[in-house]
Structure formats: C-alpha cells, structure tokens
Amino acid sequence: MKKIKVDLGKNSYPLIITHKDLFPAAQILKKQLKEDRLFIITNPKLKKSYQKTLEKAFAGFVSLHWITVPDGEKHKTLLTLEKLAVTLSKKGANRQSALLAFGGGVVGDITGFLAASYMRGIDFYQMPTSLLAQVDSSVGGKTAVDLPTGKNLLGAFYQPKAVFIDTNFLQTLPKQEFACGMAEVIKYGMIADKKFFDFLKRHAKEIHKQSPKALETIIAQSCKIKAHVVSQDEKEQGLRAILNFGHTYGHALEQVTGFNRFKHGEAVALGMLKAVEISIHKNLCSQKTHSELKALLTAYKLPVTWPKINAQKLNSAMAKDKKFQSQNIRFILSENIGKVKIVPIALKELKQ
C-alpha cells in the first residue's frame, strides 16, 4: 500500500494505492462517514463485475446502496445528473450522506458534480477503475458534465474526501484504454520528471504485463506529481495549466474528429508531439526530445502520426477552449524532458 496526500489545507485528502486490498478503504469509510450507509454510483457493467467483491470487502463497515448510470461520455449530461439527484432524494439521502464514484472518468466527473451540488454539497469518495481515472481525473477535484455546446462546461472544483486506487481493477480494462492512461503517465514524465520518463522507457515490458509492483510505482508517481501541482493551484489560475501539456491540440483534435476517431489518451499523445514541434520551432528544445517522446509513445502502443486535418478547423476549435484568454492561447511548451513552460501564443501566429 502507498499513501499520498493531496495538500489543500482543510480540503486535504489521501490517495490510497493498493493491489487486491480494499481493507484500507473500508477502514477510512468506517471512520469518516456520518451515517452507516454509502451510495455507490457506477455503471451496470462494473456493478455486475464487482458488486460481490465490494459487498464482501465492506461488510461490517458500511452498507452499500447501488445506483447505476449508463456507460459512456454521451450520458455525462445534466439530464443524468437530475436523474441521479432525484434517485438520491427518493432514497432519503441528506447532508450526512456520502457518495462513492466507482468507475472511470465519466462516473467520477458526474458523481463529483452530483456531490458538489446535492443539497449544496455532500461528501464523496473516488474509487477509479481505469488507468486514466487512477492517474488523472480522480485526483484534483475537477468535476463536470457536458453541454451540447462543449465538454465539461458545467461543473465545480470539488475535492473528494479520499481516493481509493486498487490496481486490480485494471485487469479487466481493454488494452486500448490502458494505453490511453499511459499517455497521461508519460505526460507526467514530460512535464516534471525526467527520471520517471526514463523509468517508463526501461520498464515498458513489466508495465505492459501489468505487474502489480510496476503499476503501483507508476500510479503513485503520477499521482504525486499531479497532487503537487494541484496543491499549489487548486482552481487552475496559473501553474495547474501545465497539466494540460498536449491537451490544447489534443482537445481540438478530438473535437474536429467528432469525438469518435481518437480516444482522449490517443489525442493527448498526438497533442504532446505537436506541442514539442512548436517548442522546437521556438528554440525551446531539440529534435532529440521529439524523437525520445515519439519512441516512448510507440512503445506504449500510442499513435504518433497526425491524420490530415484542416488547420483552420483545428485553430477555431482551440479558440473555444476554457483556458483561452483574450487573443492568446496559453500553450504548454517543452524545455526538454521533465520541464515545461507556459507560453502565450497569438492565434495569428499559430496559423503559420
């Protein structure tokens, strides 16, 4: 077991990383919950796979009430949020009640926003089941639903009371989803930790085989880096932007291709390569950074070749980004592996 603290003053919380061990989670819940029940929000598939496991692990600690939401980003809407809230109120949930988000990013994002807004805020916990959620979305308190006009447009910065990460849940994760999580893991190396980047190079085989020890190491190190950044800038007013390395072009690529051609992690992989290209163009790093990144992405079965995309569409998609301020886009550029810099670039300049 590894324990990492996300340090946010009175909103601080622990990340607990285990392998096939839900006992630490049960203990924390038993200690913290204000009532002896817990509402688990998950999707039908995960409920089917793990209901028995969780019931068994939590027996004697807390009673579980299961509420399911359909799987997939298209259900990350206000309509789903309303249905969940109505279900909670019918089940008598009150300000003493707490939620557990058990699933990937969609379940985590919507459950977090539900917890932030139900009766103006109740406690919630994260138990992420995908690698992407374990190293990224479950940590940091960003919660949201999508609008017809854009992703994550309604939400809240709202921190969980604890995050329970068990690498065992990754066993049933499709290979492509695992690769997507690795894109974010590689990102942490790129933005903050050259040694970690090299570790990922050396241990590609064990990580692919999902050796529990290797998984624990890369998840813990990823969470440490994210926790450190979030601790310094909870509400994304400055430094936190570096977590968006590869995401500016990545989001735009997802949007222009209708959110069905590339998975999020694949788009981020391509976005990181593009960010490094711009960095080279601006003399911030060398061609070697690009080839090293490309080699590592390839080792983890992530795409490295940009498709043919209309540049104008891509630029106008970027201009709509939440982080876009006035006429500049705040780009996260690479100054070599392990180091990034926030550079405002005018939309005009990008067009060249």
Q: How far is the CB of 325 from a second copy (least distance, A)?
A: 7
261 counts as catalytic: no
142 counts as catalytic: yes
The span from the CA of 156 to the CA of 145, in Å, is 10
Give me the residues paired with residue 40 across strands: 66, 100
236 counts as catalytic: yes
Q: Would you tell me which residues interact with a second copy (CB under 8 A)?
A: 78-79, 81-82, 85-86, 89-90, 94-96, 113, 116-121, 142-144, 147-150, 152-157, 235-236, 322-326
206 counts as catalytic: no
DSSP 8-class letter at 307:
P
Nearer residue to a second copy within complex by CB, 98 or 302:
98
Nearer residue to a second copy within complex by CB, 144 or 170:
144
Question: Could you count the other beta carbons within 10 Å of the beta carbon of residue 4?
Answer: 22
Q: Determine contact, residues 169/254, Cβ cutoff 8 Å.
A: no
260 counts as catalytic: no
Q: How far is the CB of 86 from a second copy (least distance, A)?
A: 5
Catalytic residue among 206, 216, 236, 335: 236
Nearer residue to a second copy within complex by CB, 39 or 113:
113
The span from the CA of 266 to the CA of 249, in Å, is 11
151 counts as catalytic: no
Question: Could you count the other beta carbons within 10 Å of the beta carbon of residue 206?
Answer: 15
292 counts as catalytic: no
Catalytic residue among 52, 120, 175, 209: 120
Q: How far is the CB of 99 from a second copy (least distance, A)?
A: 14
Closest C-alpha among 6, 71, 87 to residue 39? 87
247 counts as catalytic: yes
Nearer residue to a second copy within complex by CB, 89 or 287:
89
Q: How far is CA 117 from CA 96, 120, 155, 160, in A?
A: 14, 4, 9, 13
338: left (phi over 0), alpha (psi -120 to 50) or beta: left
Q: How far is the CB of 25 from a second copy (least distance, A)?
A: 25
Active site amino acids: 120, 142, 184, 226, 236, 240, 244, 247, 251, 264
